């Protein structure tokens, strides 16, 4: 039985190798025999969700991408761990996953996570991490990919500029847009907000961007209050970067007949007619591709590396399929789609080399 296993593996080895004689010799070596006797276990993957999945499109996509990759690897398994909103607990929870030694790969997402992985990898050098929406080069055992969120912010900023200068029923003469954020962090301060401001001022020269901070990623009531105060001061279109709390921004905008633009996923359905545009991430695709690559031969070479992907690579985009977007005046959509096309083609680029 074992003998036939070895010979069928040897046959496959020979098929794959360019030099038949070499492959046959390798198949007879102790090394190849050992590999045949102890076939690699199917991989085990953990998804570490820094928060809760529900309500945060970026985390929904994280899980969906990992699930798809694992489903395609025979015998592979997936465990999803929601770490909750107490950020002070994240290091211990992540390190516990690494310490268990159970997982071939721990996958996560958000810019604060690589530092925690770096610490866990120092304590448990066999642990391997992939973090999307993050950037940390040179950390052993940790691979990161950052989205060009300047471009993502720019897209909805440009749309917000078209809205605030428009004669849509919910638009007012004040040239003002709002931003409701859960907390301040470098990707927001260096990419998302300046990108939004750039798009806004290109479409609406002289327009003002005002922001408010919720203090957490879940309090939709507080986010709604902050959105109301922005609307009191003249904002007619608001972007929430607030995870589940963002729903409160949209309901407040809806209640006042104003508008929202959305980030990360498809938000048109959150309040039809209120959410006018969605700058999306293809995080599900990225996570799927990276999990597959990291678990295959050669995947090890990716650890320690940090990459940036944007609109040109197709990981930052805009969802034009929403009814509310399609119902906008043709002149607005023409102007917006020209900007979108330039970003997609790379004719307009806002290169980001890290954080
Ligand atoms: N985004 C969410 O959608 N939900 C969250 O719970 C969430 N938590 C975050 C916690 C920290 C410490 C940081 C730095 C970011 C968090 N983000 C969260 C933001 C996320 O990484 C991303 O910037 C936004 O989703 C915009 O793409």
Contacts of 15 (CB under 8 A, 6+ apart): none
- Ligand 1, atom 21: nearest CA belongs to which residue? 110
- Give the burial string for 166-196 (b: 16+ CB within 10 Å, else e): bebebbeeebbbbbbbbeeeebbeebbbbbb
Ligand 1 atom closest to Cα of 281? Answer: 27
- Ligand 1, atom 25: nearest CA belongs to which residue? 58
From 89, 135, 184, 217, the mutation candidate for ligand 1 (largest count of ligand atoms within 8 A of CB) is 217
Q: How confident is the model at residue 83, as a pLDDT?
A: 98
CA pair distance 321, 52, nearest whole angstrom: 27
**Distance of CA 250 from the midpoint of ligand 1 (Å):** 18
**Distance of CA 181 from the midpoint of ligand 1 (Å):** 10
| pLDDT tens-place string over residues 201-242 | 999 999 999 999 999 999 999 999 999 999 999 999 999 999
Residues with CB under 6 A from ligand 1: 50-51, 56, 58, 87, 110-112, 133, 185, 187, 217, 241, 243, 263-264
Q: What's 88's DSSP letter?
A: G
| pLDDT tens-place string over residues 244-268 | 999 999 999 999 999 999 999 999 9
State residue 156 phi and psi, 5-degree precision: -75, -25
Proportion of the chain above pLDDT 70, given as a percent? 89
Contacts of 203 (CB under 8 A, 6+ apart): 157, 158, 159, 160, 161, 162, 165, 335
Q: How confident is the model at residue 302, as a pLDDT?
A: 98
Q: How confident is the model at residue 132, as a pLDDT?
A: 99
- Ligand 1, atom 18: nearest CA belongs to which residue? 243
**Distance of CA 64 from the midpoint of ligand 1 (Å):** 17
Q: How confident is the model at residue 23, as a pLDDT?
A: 38
Q: How confident is the model at residue 102, as a pLDDT?
A: 98
pLDDT of 7 higher than 80: no
- Strand arrangement, sheet containing 306-309: 77-82, 44-49, 105-109, 129-132, 142-147, 306-309
Residues 160-181: what's their mean pLDDT?
A: 98
Q: How confident is the model at residue 26, as a pLDDT?
A: 40
CA pair distance 61, 86, nearest whole angstrom: 21
CA pair distance 165, 33, nearest whole angstrom: 72
The band of 354, judged by pLDDT with boundaries at 50, 70 and 90, is: confident
| pLDDT tens-place string over residues 38-83 | 668 999 999 999 999 999 999 999 999 999 999 999 999 999 999 9
| pLDDT tens-place string over residues 268-317 | 999 999 999 999 999 999 999 999 999 999 999 999 999 999 999 999 99
pLDDT of 8 higher than 80: no
Q: How confident is the model at residue 209, as a pLDDT?
A: 98
pLDDT of 2 higher than 70: no
What is residue 40's three-state secondary structure?
A: coil
CA pair distance 222, 255, nearest whole angstrom: 15
CA pair distance 274, 130, nearest whole angstrom: 35
Residues 7-24: what's their mean pLDDT?
A: 29
State residue 174 phi and psi, 5-degree precision: -65, 135
The band of 1, judged by pLDDT with boundaries at 50, 70 and 90, is: very low
CB distance 200 to 171 below 8 Å: no
CA pair distance 108, 47, nearest whole angstrom: 6
- Counting every residue, how long is the chain? 355
**Distance of CA 282 from the midpoint of ligand 1 (Å):** 15
Q: How confident is the model at residue 37, as a pLDDT?
A: 52
CA pair distance 352, 205, nearest whole angstrom: 24
Pairing of strands 129-132, 142-147: parallel
Q: How confident is the model at residue 31, as a pLDDT?
A: 42
Q: How confident is the model at residue 49, as a pLDDT?
A: 98
Strands (E), the chain: 44-49, 77-82, 105-109, 129-132, 142-147, 176-181, 208-213, 237-241, 259-264, 275-281, 306-309, 316-319
pLDDT of 347 higher than 50: yes
CB distance 274 to 254 below 8 Å: yes
What is residue 136's three-state secondary structure?
A: coil
Residue 108 pairs with which residues in a beta bridge? Answer: 48, 131
Q: How confident is the model at residue 75, as a pLDDT?
A: 97
């Amino acid at each position: 039985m074992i003998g036939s296993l070895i010979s069928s593996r040897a046959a496959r080895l020979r098929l794959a190798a360019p030099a038949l004689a070499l492959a046959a010799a390798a198949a007879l070596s102790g090394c190849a025999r050992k590999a045949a006797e102890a076939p690699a276990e199917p991989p085990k993957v953990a998804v570490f969700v820094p928060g809760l999945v529900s309500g945060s499109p970026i985390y929904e996509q994280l899980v969906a991408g990992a699930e798809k990759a694992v489903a395609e690897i025979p015998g592979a398994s997936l465990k999803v761990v929601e770490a909750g909103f107490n950020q002070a607990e994240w290091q211990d929870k992540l390190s516990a996953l690494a310490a268990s030694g159970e997982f071939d790969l721990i996958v996560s997402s958000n810019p604060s996570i690589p530092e925690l992985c770096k610490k866990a990898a120092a304590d448990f050098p066999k642990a391997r991490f992939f973090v999307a929406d993050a950037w940390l080069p040179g950390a052993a055992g940790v691979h990161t990919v950052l989205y060009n969120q300047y471009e993502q912010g720019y897209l909805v900023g440009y749309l917000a500029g078209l809205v605030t200068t428009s004669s849509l029923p919910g638009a007012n003469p004040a040239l003002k847009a709002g931003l409701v954020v859960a907390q301040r962090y470098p990707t927001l301060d260096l990419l998302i907000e300046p990108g939004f401001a750039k798009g806004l001022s290109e479409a609406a020269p002289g327009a003002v961007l005002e922001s408010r901070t919720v203090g957490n990623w879940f309090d939709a009531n507080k986010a709604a209050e902050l959105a109301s105060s922005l609307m009191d001061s003249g904002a007619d279109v608001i972007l929430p970067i607030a995870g589940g709390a963002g729903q409160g921004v949209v309901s407040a905008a809806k209640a006042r007949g104003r508008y929202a633009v959305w980030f990360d996923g498809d938000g048109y359905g959150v309040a039809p007619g209120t959410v006018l545009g969605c700058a999306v991430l293809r995080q599900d695709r990225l996570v799927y591709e990276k999990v597959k690559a990291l678990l295959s031969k050669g995947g090890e070479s990716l650890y320690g590396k940090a990459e940036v992907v944007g609109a040109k690579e197709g990981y930052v985009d805009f969802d034009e399929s929403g009814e509310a977007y399609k119902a906008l005046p043709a002149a607005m959509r023409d102007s917006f789609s020209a900007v979108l096309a330039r970003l997609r083609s790379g004719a307009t680029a806002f290169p980001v080399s890290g954080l």
